[in-house]
Copies of this chain bind each other. A is one copy, B any other.
Amino acid sequence: MDTNYKNHLGRIIKQQRISLPLTLQELAAKSNVSASHLGRIERGERFPSAHILQRIAKPLGFEEDELFTLAGYLSPQSPMVSEQSPAYSGDRLDPYVARILAQEPLEIQRAVIGILAILQSIAKSKS
Residues in A lying within 8 Å of B, measured CB to CB: 8, 11, 15, 49-51, 53-54, 61-66, 68, 71, 73-75, 77-81, 83-88, 90-104, 106, 108-110, 112-117
Contact = CB atoms under 8 A, between A and B. Distances in A.
Given A94-B109, A110-B8, A99 B88 contact: yes
Contact of A78 (B8, B80, B99, B108): B80
B73 A87 contact: no
**Those 10 A-B pairs whose CB atoms lie nearest each other, nearest first:** A93-B102, A50-B73, A50-B50, A91-B102, A97-B109, A87-B99, A83-B84, A94-B109, A91-B103, A100-B113
Query: Which of A65, A90, A112, A117: most chain B Cβ within 10 A?
Result: A65
A72 to B, nearest CB: 8
Given A51-B73, A65-B65, A88-B99, A79 B79 contact: no
19 contacts: A50-B68, A50-B71, A53-B73, A54-B74, A61-B87, A63-B87, A64-B75, A68-B73, A68-B74, A79-B81, A81-B102, A84-B84, A93-B98, A94-B109, A94-B110, A96-B110, A97-B101, A101-B113, A108-B116
A83 B95 CA distance: 11
